[in-house]
């Protein structure tokens, strides 16, 4: 097996950044989902209710800030937020303190989304723990849904698109971008990742625990370039990949203590014991 592609999402639910290399940190890939769009109550705003977010293309800056881009809006450079008062924000069941990005970023996003929102930065990524049912007490995650990384398998996407073709759906095939993975592997059999649960996976020199399968939601029906929404691949996943009332595609990873960089083309191996 080989690492086929690497992706980060600087602002949760916004457009991806495709990478050739990435540094693996305890809470995920460097720069992945450290920024979050929130509503007036501090609750996360995601593509589930605002698919327009995918039309926002953040570009990380060397100083730790980001540039926000969207068609029809002037680019906005957002510097790293200064140390100051923190704001409590909510990501699913987690309440986390984060640094507000400032009035300019809030106004820019509110105009693009056509609703009042704000932007926050997770200045300390050690604040949020991972689900203890699947993780060690020291494991941490940023603003991702619940786990540091998501891995998908190209052969599984090929199988899914085969089902779509057989079904006669006008929406297929769907690209891997619909699933918003961090890492994509090639060279494995379709659905081989199901057998990796409870094992360790080594990508290059970095090892990961394969914590659990990933249940999929309406975000997978959203075209990640336009924000337009359809019905697939959830319909076909419901037919073939429904387990315990969850529609499964991909597996969730937790990095081990030994951290390093990963690179497209790295060998990927399943280790015999967790």
Q: Which residues of the chain have pLDDT under 50?
A: none
What residues does each domain of the chain span?
2-7+131-271, 17-121
Which residues, 6 or more positions from 270, have their beta carbon under 8 angstroms from its beta carbon? 195, 196, 199, 200, 201
222 forms bridges with which residues in the sheet? 229
Residues linked to residue 267 through DSSP beta bridges, in sequence order: 2
Q: Under CATH, to which class is 2-7+131-271 assigned?
A: mainly beta
- Residue 125's pLDDT is 94
Distance (Å) of CA 4 to CA 97, 130, 164, 211, 261: 35, 26, 23, 21, 15
Separation of alpha carbons 137 and 140, rounded Å: 8
The pLDDT assigned to 38 comes to 98
Query: Which is nearest to 181 in space by CA: 142, 158, 207, 147?
Result: 147
pLDDT at position 62 is 86
Closest among 11, 218, 32, 9 to 118, alpha carbons compared: 11
Classify 108 as helix, strand or coil: helix
Per-residue pLDDT tens over the stretch 127-136: 999 999 999 9
Q: Looking at the whole model, is its pTM more than 0.85?
A: yes
Those residues whose C-beta lies under 8 Å from the C-beta of residue 63, and which sit 6 or more positions away, are: 79, 80
SS (H, E, C) 232-270: CCHHHHHHHCEECCEEEEEEEEEECCCCCEEECCCEEEE
Residue 274, pLDDT score? 59
- The pLDDT value recorded for residue 83 is 78
The per-residue pLDDT for 45 is 98
The confidence score (pLDDT) of residue 84 equals: 80
Give whole-number Cα distances, 156 to 123, 148, 182, in Å. 36, 21, 16
Q: Pick from 142, 110, 139, 108: which is nearest to 124 by CA? A: 142
Contact of 164 with 171, CB cutoff 8 Å: yes
């Amino acid at each position: 097996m080989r690492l086929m592609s690497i992706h980060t999402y600087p602002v949760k639910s916004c457009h991806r950044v495709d990478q050739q290399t990435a540094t693996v940190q305890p809470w995920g890939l460097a720069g992945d989902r450290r920024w979050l769009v929130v509503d007036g109550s501090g609750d996360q705003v995601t593509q589930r209710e605002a698919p327009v977010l995918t039309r926002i293309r953040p570009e990380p800056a060397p100083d730790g800030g980001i540039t926000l881009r969207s068609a029809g809006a002037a680019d906005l450079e957002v510097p790293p937020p200064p140390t100051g008062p923190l704001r409590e924000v909510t990501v699913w069941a987690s309440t986390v303190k984060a640094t507000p990005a400032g009035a300019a970023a809030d106004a820019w996003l509110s105009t693009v989304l056509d609703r009042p929102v704000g932007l926050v930065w997770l200045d300390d990524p050690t604040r949020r723990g991972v689900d203890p049912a699947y993780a060690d007490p020291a494991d941490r995650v940023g603003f991702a849904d619940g786990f540091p990384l998501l891995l998908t398998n190209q052969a599984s996407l090929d199988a899914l698109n085969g089902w779509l073709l057989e079904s006669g759906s006008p929406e297929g095939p769907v690209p891997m971008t619909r699933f918003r993975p961090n890492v994509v592997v090639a060279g494995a059999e379709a659905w081989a990742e199901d057998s990796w649960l409870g094992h360790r996976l080594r990508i290059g020199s970095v090892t990961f625990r394969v914590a659990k399968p990933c249940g999929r939601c309406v975000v997978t029906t959203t075209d990640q370039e336009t924000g337009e929404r359809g019905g697939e691949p959830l319909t076909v996943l419901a037919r073939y990949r429904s387990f315990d009332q969850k529609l499964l595609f991909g597996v969730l990873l937790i990095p081990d203590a030994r951290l390093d960089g990963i690179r497209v083309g790295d060998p990927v191996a399943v280790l015999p014991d967790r």
